[in-house]
Amino acid sequence: MNKKLHLAKEKLIVALDVNTTEAALELVRKLSPRVGMFKVGMQLFYSAGPDVVRRIKEEGVRVFLDLKLHDIPNTVAQAARALAGLGADIINVHAAGGTAMMRAAAGAVRERAAALGLPAPLVISVTVLTSIDQPVFQQELGYSGDIQGKVRAWAILTKEAGLDGVVASPKEIAVIREACGDDFKIITPGIRPAWSVSDDQKRIMTPAEAIDQGASYLVVGRPVTGDADPSAAAQKILSEMAEVL
């Protein structure tokens, strides 16, 4: 693997949207030569339980634990403390929970990781989900203004709370970079190669477009795991990413 493809691999996260540890491990073993990190979300975590994170880590890959914690500060801190013991590399919370909640989560994660002698996971916040478009944002959720402005405000709040970055659609990468700097991590779902379908994602870009905008990591699910040949699909995405790296 050449240098650009290796760099692309380190930036590619594949979502393990399956129900069992066995199915997740099968995908990890098939895709790990081309994928640097795997996302364990609610579907897999709630179906298979916390041990699935440890089992995936045993395969020598990184894990993004995507549970979007959102509650009062003490509850989120205690949940984050428990999750930090699983060895995940990234843990997330909802920016909508506010500064006190985010600070409590980050502090609990770093304290627990230090006590266990583990590297501290990145703690990031989720901004506006990529399945939400402007009409839903205003008419159903009741927000004024536009999505980009809200994402920018939440990214700034996240940085001020001491977190490492945000999850946001690729459409907001540029404004987050301008507001929060080059070291701030931006994880972008809503990635759809030109050869795939958009499914329920609304604010989307191709892998090359998102990397060119400045994304730190791309999260891809169904275009890889739903393909008849997931390994070949991942390779196509790597090649597209490498073109702009």
Annotated binding site for substrate: 17, 39, 66-75, 130, 192, 201, 221-222
Return the number of other C-beta atoms located less than 10 Å from residue 137's C-beta: 19
Does the annotation count 159 as an active-site position?
A: no
Q: How far is CA 70 from the centre of its chain?
A: 16
The DSSP secondary-structure symbol of 95 reads: G
Q: Which two tokens stand for residue 157?
A: 């709040």
Does the annotation count 66 as an active-site position?
A: yes
Q: Which two tokens stand for residue 58?
A: 């045993």
CA atoms of 229 and 218, how far apart (whole Å): 20
Catalytic, out of 4, 30, 57, 68: 68
Q: Which two tokens stand for residue 50?
A: 């916390």
Does the annotation count 71 as an active-site position?
A: yes
**Letter string b/e over residues 31-52, b meaning 16 or more CB atoms within 10 A of that residue's CB:** bbebbbbbbbbeebbeebeeeb
Query: Residue 229: which residues within 8 A CB-CB, separation 6 or more?
Result: none
Catalytic, out of 66, 185, 202, 236: 66
Nearest-Å Rg of the Cα atoms of the chain is: 17
CA atoms of 167 and 129, how far apart (whole Å): 8
Q: What are phi and psi of 169, to 5 degrees?
A: -70, 155
Nearest Cα residue to 36 out of 8, 65, 75? 8
Nearest Cα residue to 150 out of 131, 174, 175? 175
Q: Which residues are catalytic?
A: 66, 68, 71
